[in-house]
Amino acid sequence: MEKDDFLNDDFLWDLIRQIPSDSPSDDFVTRVMAGVESIQQTAPVRKNYILYIRNIMPYLLLSLFLILVVSTSDIPFLNWFPGKNYYLNNLLPYFGTLFTGMKNAFSSKYVSFGMLVFASAGLLFLVDRLFSRKTIF
């Protein structure tokens, strides 16, 4: 028997026609739905924006530090920084005068003492959070 003869065989076609098609029982849907557990939908939780700031902060500080090192260094291969002369001649003196004005505000011994207390309290707070594994916010 060749392939074409096998497909044209009337006996096989009659057998296929006589077989009833499979259909599920009448209570099939009811039994399946009874077995499915109902799951409550949860709304997506919105993250607080402080979490995004906490995640970005180390990269931002590292970037600012690298920009400061590249722009103020005397290493010859770092002179490629575009606008370095503008930065050194115009912006750094501006920041210098800004910090000079701020230095006068912090020259009082009361302000200095308050800053020391605040800095030490902040450091102790961060160390406590680090060792107690609590979230900061």
Mean pLDDT on 81-98: 75
Q: Is the pLDDT assigned to residue 66 strictly greater than 80? A: yes
Check pLDDT > 70 for residue 86.
yes
- Taking Cα atoms as reference points, which of 95, 68, 93, 94 lies closest to residue 81? 68
Instruction: Taking residues 32-39, report their average pLDDT.
Output: 78
Report the percent of the chain where pLDDT is more than 90: 2
Over residues 53-60, mean pLDDT: 83
Task: Report pLDDT for 121.
Answer: 92
> CA–CA separation, 99 vs 92, rounded Å?
10
Are 137 and 48 contacting, i.e. CB atoms less than 8 angstroms apart? yes
Query: What pLDDT score does 2 carry?
Result: 58
Backbone angles phi, psi at 41, to 5 degrees: -80, 135
The rounded mean pLDDT for the chain is 77
Query: Is 125 or 47 the better-scoring residue by pLDDT?
Result: 125
Q: Which two tokens stand for residue 100?
A: 């000079």
Q: Tokens standing for 75? A: 């290493």
Spatial contact of 46 and 36, defined as CB atoms under 8 Å apart: no
Q: Is 83 left (phi over 0), alpha (psi -120 to 50) or beta?
A: left
Report, as an integer, the average pLDDT of 56-77.
Answer: 80
Contact 111, 105 (CB under 8 A): yes
Q: Look at residue 23 in the predicted model and tell me its pLDDT.
A: 81
Give residue 36's region: left, alpha or beta (phi > 0; psi -120 to 50).
beta
Confidence band of 113 (pLDDT split at 50, 70, 90): confident
CA distance 105 to 88: 26
| Residue 102's pLDDT band (cuts 50, 70, 90) | confident
